[in-house]
Structure 1
Amino acid sequence: MPTPAEHVIDLRRRFDGAAPARILQAALGEIFKGRIAVVSSFGADSGVLLHLVAEVDREAPVLFVDTGRHFPETLEHRDRLVRHLGLGDVRSIGPSPEEVARRDADLSRATWDPDGCCAFRKIAPLQRALAGFDAWITGRKRFQATTRRELPIFEVDGTQAKINPLARWNQAEIDDYAARHGLPEHPLASRGYPSIGCAPCTSAILPGEDPRAGRWRGFVKTECGIHRPAAALLAAE
């Protein structure tokens, strides 16, 4: 039995240069069939990955972390995309009311401890939801941030494989795909929000700014943290 790392190395070799559609067909319909989930923020570009997934399996589990702090427009966009694509198994996950009351009773935590806020609202619920899967799919792309420039198509996350089928695509390719397939646009995308997270931690960007400049503006933080364990952040409380 190969280790997760050995499995990922083999997948990189087998699917070197493969198109996203082929990668998803193999992952959802063959290699991890019934044991894989898609994680989606239902953000500005999420429709592209979800359309590709729907072309393979509309019943594939799609996990959406409902932090309780999303823009209303994001929730509306989620519902619109689900209807448009006919997705049959979208699961909203998030912190319990008890966790919110204990860790962020006055809803101010995002302003003074965004790492801790992400840890209990986003990272921990997602880790719980992913526990029953062998692999998961993300919509991350290399052009989105300096921290993602070397993003591989296949990687290891603990005991699970993580698949980033759109890693090589640029913004023009994303936009072209969305236009060709008539995908609904996130209401905030045309208002200067190319990267959309929770409302307290997302602002519009200025012309020429990095696409993720509006995330956690004023903090060193550049990622929510779902791609690293939350245990240390939560244990510190």
Structure 2
Amino acid sequence: MSAHDVTLFGDQVAASRLGARFAAMDAGALLRLSIRDLFPGRIALVSSFGADSAVLLHMVAQVDPATPVIFVDTGFLFPETLDYRDELVRLLGLTDVRAVQPSEEDLAALDPEGFLWSSDPDGCCEIRKVKPLANAIEGYDAWITGRKRFQSGTRAALPLFEAEGERVKINPLAGWDASELLRYLDLHALPRHRMVAKNYPSIGCIPCTSPVKPGEDARAGRWRGKGKTECGIHLGILSAGQDI
């Protein structure tokens, strides 16, 4: 496949066809194809440095440790997440990790007291996660996510490739389950996020993340009781030119 074929991603039907074509390709090979051949210099990994982020970060580092990694620091992250980020950056030799934060102007205008999460969690996510990421991925033709189908019912049909306007989202671990993630972590002796041992299989911001109970979805502890399942970065087309 040549890089010119990427234009096929203009609609989700074409993306689905390409996903079917590469369905048998393992995640590492899919990442090599995407980073080296399809989108050289035009692709980034978006990572939360969360519960199982080490798997995808390790795979990307094996392909090219200089691949841009975008990390959204909302200002409300667990200290353990920031420590885990620093640990993995050192261990994996990642050389282009870019921390992006909400703008001071947005915080002053929309969340001056830092309690927007309690009254309007969608609005809080928009200014602290969605808008900073939209600005950060401007200019990229593709980005890599760590989403998996097993994480929640809303992700059960997650494809390998998604069309996001003229940009491509790639989900190389879409078909992985929790046991495969654990095997990979063990095989490569990768460190765990310390919150996982405290029953946090999905880790976001402190005010909106709680431990998960036995039998619940991995993301059941996110925005518990608020009727919200996603922060918003995967619910539409990210564009810095829009009033997000």
Sort the TM-score into its range (normalised by shorter chain): over 0.9
Shift of 1:205: 1.6
Superposed counterparts of 1:140-155, under 5 Å? 140-155=147-162
Aligned residue for 1:61? 68
1:17-68 Cα shifts (integer Å, max 9, x gaps) = 1100110000001110100000000000000000000010000000000111
Cα distance, 1:16 vs structure 2: 2.5
What do the CA deviations read for 1:45-99 (whole angstroms, capped 9, x no partner)? 0000000000100000000001111011100111101111000000001212222
Q: 2:10 matched to which residue of 1?
A: 5
Q: Which amino acid aligns with 2:18?
A: L
**2:100 is the alignment partner of 1:93:** yes
CA contact (8 A) 2:32 2:63 kept: yes
Which residue in the other structure is 1:171 paired with? 178
1:203 Cα deviation from its structure 2 partner: 0.7
- Partner residue in 2 for 1:36: 43
TM-score when scaled to structure 1?
0.94
Q: What root-mean-square deviation, in Å, do the aligned CA atoms of Structure 1 and Structure 2 show?
A: 1.7
Structure 2 SS opposite 1:120: helix
- Identity among equivalent pairs (%): 53
For structure 2, the 5+ residue unaligned runs are: none
Q: Helix, strand or coil for the counterpart of 1:117?
A: helix
TM-score for both structures, normalised by structure 2: 0.91
Given the alignment, which residue of 102, 119, 123 partners 2:126?
119
Matches of 2:42 and 2:243, distance apart in 1: 29
Amino acid aligned to 1:50: L
CA distances 1:110-167 after superposition (whole Å, capped 9, x unpaired): 1111000001110011111111100000000000010100000011111101100000
> Partner letter of residue 195 of structure 2?
L
**Using the alignment, how far apart are the partners of 1:149 and 1:213 within structure 2?**
14
Q: Residue 28 of structure 2 contacts residue 59 of structure 2 at CA under 8 Å; is this kept in 1?
A: yes
Give the superposition deviation at 1:4: 2.5
Which amino acid in 2 is paired with 1:4? F
2:217 alignment partner, SS class: coil
Assess if the C-alpha contact under 8 Å between 2:149 and 2:174 holds in 1.
yes
Are residue 136 (structure 1) and residue 125 (structure 2) matched? no
Instruction: Tell me the residue number matched to 2:189.
Output: 182
- CA–CA distance in 2 between the matches of 1:207 and 1:9? 34
Residues 222 and 229 of structure 2 are in contact (CA less than 8 Å); yes or no, is this contact kept in structure 1? yes
Matched-pair contact (CA < 8 Å) for 2:44–2:140:
yes
Q: Where does structure 1 lack aligned partners over 5 or more consecutive residues?
A: none
Q: What SS is found at the alignment partner of 1:49?
A: helix
1:77 aligned to which of 73, 84, 88: 84
**How far 1:8 sits from its partner (Å)?**
2.8
Decide whether the 8 Å contact of 2:212 with 2:221 is kept in 1. yes
CA contact (8 A) 2:16 2:159 kept: no
Q: CA deviation at 1:102?
A: 1.2
